[in-house]
Every structure is written in structure tokens, then in C-alpha cells.
Amino acid sequence: MLLIVFARQKILIIALLLMGLLFTPLALARSLVIGLNADMSAKDSEAGEAIRRGALIAMDEINATGGVLGRPLELQVRDHRRNPARGKQNIQAFADQENLVAVLGGKHTPVVLSELSLIHELELPYLIPWAAGTPIVDSGYEPNYVFRVSVKDAHAGPYLAKKAVELGFKRAALLLEQTSWGLSNELALRGALVNQGLGPVATEFYSWGERYFELLLAELLQASPDVIIFVGNAAEGARFIQVMQQQPEELQLPVISHWGITGGDFVDGLGSGSDNYPLLFLQTFSFARPPFPETAQKLWEGYQNRFPGVKDPLKVPAPQGVAHAYDLVHLLALAIQEAGTTERKAVRKALLNLPDYQGVMRNYQPAFAPGRQDALDATSFILACYQKGRILPQKKCSSWHSD
């Protein structure tokens, strides 16, 4: 009987060896963990899932070529559910893991801002693929452990104001969520609009979960704006557009939105109305108009391998989150390799001294530098629209002028 058992075990070991699943150096090595602290289950979970997918695609590529320092990368996910207190709990739990090297965080700006003191106390490299609040990186912490491949509101405000002028608008009104992200945008947008001669003619704030936009809209309409610039997320954005669609035709004003509406179920919440309403929103990446087609094609092939249920690249949910996380994981792997260690202080230092790297979003020359820990600027921005559930660049939007 024992001989039979040993024989079976020997056959199993040989089979595993032939499959490359046993006794390979990478399989035996202890994983390097990257954390993801994001909204994975609340109203903006599409953003968290997009970040997760982009990170996994990058890890697949890196692990297929031997990992980093001979060790495979592993993603561990914690759900902050849009709750700052839970976000901080997740940060502490990640930091306590000996083999964790860095954390991806996002979205939201209010959650990340609440975590900043703990991030720096724990000296934990924190990589932002989706959260735009200016103070997230411009925080005054030194050394600064936060690195971002994402929109920055200080860049987004002037860009949106400039685009409003190019579209012919003269009287902009602001509708902003009452959070630190909304306040970050008020500061950026107000100065930019004044410089462009657009006002703002009126400003109103609303709370997370707001459903009754009628009174807020009435207040804005008293100032006779010709466009509304909206800053908020998917659920509130869909409800606001529904209220706009209920107005008389002459009061159904065009809307230019920040990118927050693309991080949740905006299209599902609005239905076909997302195609018909004159709505444009900020984006950084579209498979319909990628900044570097060859690297975008590689990303799409990796996406199909990992998530074969998505057949159309233009229907990838929240594609900017995928692209940003993909680039960030590759940049982090490069930093670990350059540092020659997973020690977190050394990795942070290496992130500031990376060689040039060709990513999906841009040719980073380099991505970060002392005093500059935002990798993107307005040259990476586009305006886009929804058409049949697809995110398309402005020039492909039937209701708007070409950009």
C-alpha cells in the first residue's frame, strides 16, 4: 500500500514539474504584496474595480518575466466603502504586513486626505491612480510618500475653463459636492473661470447621496448661466442630469463634468439619457484615442486575457483607472528593481529617481522627481462623452464640436 502511495506522489510531482507549477524559483519565492485600498462595494466601486484590473494586468506581465528581484507580485485588496475611518484601518493593516511594499489608493479625495497623516507616520509608499484633490500630493509632508498618476484639480480647473471658452460659453455656473474634493475644485475652477472671463455667475454645493437637485438647480438658473460645470460622482451625477432633463427645453443647459461620474454606475443610473443629453466630462485615457496605440494594444490584450467577458475595448468600465493603475504598478516594479530592496524608504527614494519609461499614459521622462510627485498634467486630458455605454473622445460626440 505504501509503495502505491509513493508511486502516486511521484507521478503527481513529475506532472507538476512538467507543467511548470512546482519547484520553479518564482513559485517558491515569497510574494511581494501591493495593497489596494479602494471603494470596492459602494456607489463608486467601478473605479476600485478598474484599479484592481489594471494592477492585475501589470502584475501578470511582470510575473511572466520573473517578477521583481526574483519574487512574484501579489495584489491584496481591502474595501474602504467610501468611508475615511475604514480607509485608515486598511492603511494600518497593510502597513503591518512585513512583505507589503506599497499601497494603491483611490478613489475618493476625502478618504485619501483623511489617511495622509497615518501614511506618513507609517512611512508607507502610497500610489494614487484615481483621486484628484490637489492637497493629496501638495500636502506639505516631507519626505512625501504619495505619488500620483491621476488628474490633479489644480490642472483640471484651468483645463475645464479653457474648454468652456472654446465651446463658446460665456456664463458658467458651478455645482460641486460638499467635500474636500469639491472645495479643491472650487478653488481651481473659480480662479480659472475668472481668468477666462466666465464668472462663475453662481455656485451651489450638495452633499453625498443628494437626490433632490431641483432647488439647487433653481438657484443656479436665477443667474442665467449658459453652462453648468459639475463636480461629483456617478450616483449624484445621474440624478442631477435626470432633473435637468425634466426642465423645459430652453432650460436644459449643457453640462461639463469632472471625471467622477465615470467611476460608478452613471450610465445604468441614467439609462439612454446619457446618450441624448449635451454632457461632456474630463478623461485622461480612451481606447478610442490612446496617446500611444502600441502600448494601449498591449494593455487591451492583457485585459482580454484576464477579463475575457469584455469584448469591446470601448466598453471597458472606467478605462482611465485601468490605465493609471497599470502604469503605476510598472513604475513601482521599476523602482523596486532600481532600489535592489523592498525596504519602503528605499523604494520611495527610487520612485524619485526612475529612468525614463514608456507607459500607456505617457512617455515618462521620468515619472517623478524631487518636488514633483504628480506624473500627469493637462497635456494628458481630453473631454469625452457617453455613446451607447461607450466612452468616446469629444470629436466623436454627435452633440458637440470637435476638440
pLDDT in tens, 155-167: 999 999 999 999 9
Same domain assignment for residues 174 and 301: no
In angstroms, the CA 124 to CA 111 distance is 16
CA 394: distance to chain centroid? 20
What pLDDT does residue 174 have? Answer: 98
* Residue whose grid cell is 494601449: 296
**In Å, how far are 38, 150, 350 from 327, measured between CA atoms?**
17, 11, 16
Residue 378 counted as domain residue: no
Residue 387 counted as domain residue: yes
Rounded mean pLDDT of the chain?
91
pLDDT greater than 90 at residue 120? yes
Cell readout for 223 is 443667474
| DSSP output for 243-264 | HHHTS-GGG---EEE-GGGGGT
pLDDT greater than 80 at residue 17? no
Same domain assignment for residues 388 and 255: yes
What pLDDT does residue 99 have? Answer: 96
CATH of the domain at 235: 3.40.50.2300
Sequence-ordered strand ranges (E) for 220-319: 227-231, 255-257, 279-283
Same domain assignment for residues 92 and 197: no
What pLDDT does residue 39 have? Answer: 94
Beta bridge partners of 390: 387
Same domain assignment for residues 147 and 158: no
Q: What is the per-residue pLDDT across 219-230, written as a single tens digit (0 to 9) for each?
A: 999 999 999 999
Residue 233 counted as domain residue: yes
Pick the range with the lowest mean pLDDT from 24-33, 243-252, 349-358. Answer: 24-33
What pLDDT does residue 92 have? Answer: 98
Same domain assignment for residues 175 and 268: yes
Give yes or no for a contact between 387 and 396, defined as CB atoms under 8 angstroms apart.
yes
Range of the domain at 118: 30-151+290-372
In angstroms, the CA 364 to CA 360 distance is 10
Instruction: Give me the mean pLDDT over the 378-393 stretch.
Output: 92
Same domain assignment for residues 241 and 160: yes
Question: How many domains are contained in the chain?
Answer: 2
Residue 178 counted as domain residue: yes
Percent of the chain residues past pLDDT 90, beyond the cut = 83
Instruction: Give me the mean pLDDT over the 123-147 stretch.
Output: 97
pLDDT greater than 50 at residue 215? yes
In angstroms, the CA 354 to CA 292 distance is 20
Q: What is the per-residue pLDDT across 302-357, written as a single tens digit (0 to 9) for each?
A: 999 999 999 999 999 999 999 999 999 999 999 999 999 999 999 999 999 999 99
